[in-house]
Structure 1
């Protein structure tokens, strides 16, 4: 049974050359196309905001996985998320790379925790089957099973 926990509200005016503002006012930022595509400096873009949200959400999923195992994450553990905007034919799309460094765990344990986090992270669940997500541990790509990127986990 679905139980709504929280709803975030934000609005945009002017698209990629406008402004975004959250209902709480915490986010109130000028937007621009990426600087490398001719945009302004000191403005953000949807891809940066998506990358920040995904990195934060994935880190939280890792914290939950660690806690369930009776463990904790190193305070310096890090999730780096890179979001790429691409054009394919007439359409546009996104892909993401999540690179995780948990510091205190060996590679095998980190890989297992990353796989588990990818199953429960709301961003991973929301993107599954809709965009390519590459998982890495300290820069090294880890194999992603087809079912981990297609449909809802467990279906």
Structure 2
């Protein structure tokens, strides 16, 4: 581990894998899991990853906006598509983030997206590891 200052630790336990259950230590998360496309009740790791990344990315855009004295639109949204893929080297992920910043000049919006992609912990974790496309919509 690094010498970085830990701000928060999310603790979860999953049983049963993709056909299981995930719970957080504080009880705030308690969800049923199911394989993607199975039609069974529950969510899957790809959806959870997309939800976490999009929330984090909006937070990073908010920080970039405040640093530039820009007001982030109240209806800012990030729609995330996380693909589970399979190739000759096994399973992998790829992702697309579609960012909506209504009312902002396109150049300003792109600057916020670029800054967020440099600072968002999810973006940092995936950089160079999976294919990622970020689009201003």
Q: Shift of the alpha carbon at 1:133?
A: 1.0
Q: TM-score, normalised by structure 2?
A: 0.94
Q: Unpaired segments of 5 or more residues in structure 2?
A: none
Q: How does 1:5-154 map to 2 (within 5 A)?
A: 5-34=7-36, 36=37, 38-40=38-40, 42-138=41-137
Q: C-alpha separation between the residues in 1 aligned to 2:39 and 2:14?
A: 17
Residue deviations 1:24-83 (CA, integer Å, cap 9, x gap):
11110110001x2x240x310000000000000000000000011112111111111111
Q: Shift of the alpha carbon at 1:19?
A: 0.4
Q: C-alpha separation between the residues in 2 aligned to 1:109 and 1:68?
A: 13
Q: TM-score, normalised by structure 1?
A: 0.83
Residue deviations 1:100-125 (CA, integer Å, cap 9, x gap):
11112111111111011000000001
SS in 1 for 2:104: coil
What is the aligned residue count? 135
> Which of structures 1 and 2 has the larger relative contact order (alpha carbons within 8 angstroms, sep 6+)?
2
Q: Unpaired segments of 5 or more residues in structure 1?
A: 139-155
